[in-house]
Structure 1
């Protein structure tokens, strides 16, 4: 049978996605049920345990297919990028209503009502999807109203299908966001998560992990040892790492060196990273 990446296909020895029947071995095949993420940020883990590492995250409003729910965890596959993993079943919400808007600011607050002086009732990351049912204005500030009666600053939202003109500018808006392994939100993000979130806000769905992006995003570039000819938006890959060029000489990346999303000169990064991990493994133009 075809070897399939378990990060992108839901199959285990005991259970598998019905769509994979005849392609993988499993004791039982099931048709998953649709759901959406109801939590602000849901950690998608490698195993159904709270001490299992975070592979990625899903944001409020994201669509998933649920194949199993047991002992407090759900085994799901994300609709946007196909990633498979386990999340707390309390992170799941109703499939309806569908989001009408998404958060465009790096982070924002949810209030119990349309008044910023009220104590916040939640927080949301860039990219989170919301259902807006109306608007209200208090002391000159416009709010988007949610089905729960809660409110979000309207200026922090955009239409769910809106696309930013420059994905690099989206990444730049996340400068100083803390580094978080597996993170893909305005609260914490890793290198490939930064690429994925920024491109998603620009209307492009891309795969999650660095190796996936290095194999599929755009076209490879042959730049030679001098690394000349890079443009804004080009990607630089190392083993297990990716950075976004902001111009021919400077890049932005979520990195474990500063533990932040930060700018760095490409040549400085090549020297610094090469000491431990070697030189770039490739360049791609999305």
Structure 2
């Protein structure tokens, strides 16, 4: 049975690839759009609950429009849902992505002028020029060169990326420094290191890494799963995770987290996974 979270169909419209396997009133190839605001909520229905978020410059395949919302599928992970139409614009080919937790868009190449808006880690931009220590992007704004990296460049250490999010407020469905949840943190870290990663913790547990034997010591970068939660080991004993207990991304001894989570939240650990990291 297909997963509705990643099946581009809402009963009224479906992607043409599903013609013959999913019933719909019509089928569409869709049109690629991109997010034109710092963050856009991806909801389960128009004005519905937040399921995930996309950040500036990320692409979204629009299949239908309904009541001011675009229905479609995120390029990042195939997640399906609704985004406000006003949050989207025509897609631009990205040349760089934001590698700092947050950055500013300046109207001039001058750090003393007031920035117009803030962008977050993972945002994608098209660089059109340079001015001193700034890059000019497709919106006409200027960004600090230090906060950008070529679109295909990647990091090697997911835990180092997770450190960038320390103290970030916990937000169900969040994917950025503005607010992030447990699986959003893992996804952001792995994608930044060139590792494909689905959105939710159950999806991640199903496809990521190899099982670690129960008697084997843990190491940096290992993933720990519960039913409904995931964290990343910063060392053999210390867990780094976005969680509602701290309402933030925080370090916590694994033994303490495991005892608390088993007693009060998601039960016992369901698996320990090791990624192939370089």
| TM-score, normalised by the number of residues in structure 1 | 0.93
- Partner SS, residue 198 of structure 1: helix
Secondary structure of the structure 1 residue equivalent to 2:86: helix
Structure 1 contact 133–146 (Cα < 8 Å) conserved: yes
Aligned to 1:280: 269
Aligned to 1:37: 35
Residue by residue, what CA displacement relative to the aligned partner does 1:220-278 show, whole Å, maximum 9, x if unpaired? 22315xxx411111100011000000111001000001111000000010111111232
Q: Which sits farther off after the overlay, 250-259 or 18-27?
A: 18-27
Give the superposition deviation at 1:17: 1.1
Instruction: Give yes or no for the alignment of 1:222 onto 2:213.
Output: yes
State how far apart, in whole Å, the 1-side matches of 2:139 and 2:14 are: 36
Task: Give the 5 Å matches for 1:108-147.
Answer: 108-137=103-132, 142-147=133-138
Pairs within 5 Å for 1:258-277? 258-276=246-264, 277=266
Tell me how far 1:26 sits from its aligned partner. Answer: 1.7
Matched with 1:20 is 18
Alignment counterpart, residue 150 of structure 1, candidates 141, 147, 170: 141
Q: Which runs of 5+ in 2 are unaligned?
A: none
- C-alpha distance in 2 between matches for 1:147 and 1:103: 14
Q: Is residue 174–residue 181 contact of structure 2 (8 Å, CA) maintained in 1? A: yes
**Residue 15 (structure 1) shift:** 1.8
For 2:273 and 2:235, how far apart are their aligned partners in 1? 14
Superposed displacement of residue 149, structure 1: 2.3
- 2:125–2:138 CA contact under 8 A, matched in 1: no
Q: Is 1:59 paired with 2:44?
A: no
Inter-CA distance 149–26: structure 2 relative to 1 (3 Å threshold): closer
Give the CA deviation at 1:27. 2.2
Aligned-residue offset at 1:134 = 1.3
Among 82, 90, 101, the alignment partner of 2:78 is 82
Q: How does 1:108-257 map to 2 (within 5 A)?
A: 108-137=103-132, 142-224=133-215, 228-257=216-245
Q: Which residue of 1 aligns with 2:90?
A: 94
Partner deviation per Cα, 1:153-191 (whole Å, 9 max, x = no partner): 111111111111111100112111111100011111000
Separation in structure 2 between the aligned mates of residue 270 and residue 80 of structure 1, nearest angstrom: 30
Which ranges of structure 1 fall in alignment gaps of 5 or more residues?
A: none
The 2-side partners of 1:173 and 1:166 are apart by 12
8 Å contact from structure 1 (residues 41, 57) kept in 2: yes
What CA deviation, in whole Å up to 9, does each residue of 1:90-131 have, x standing for no partner?
1112112x1111100011111111111111111111000011
Tell me the distance in 2 between the aligned counterparts of 1:272 and 1:111: 45
Deviation at 1:13, TM superposition (A): 2.3
CA contact (8 A) 1:80 1:205 kept: no
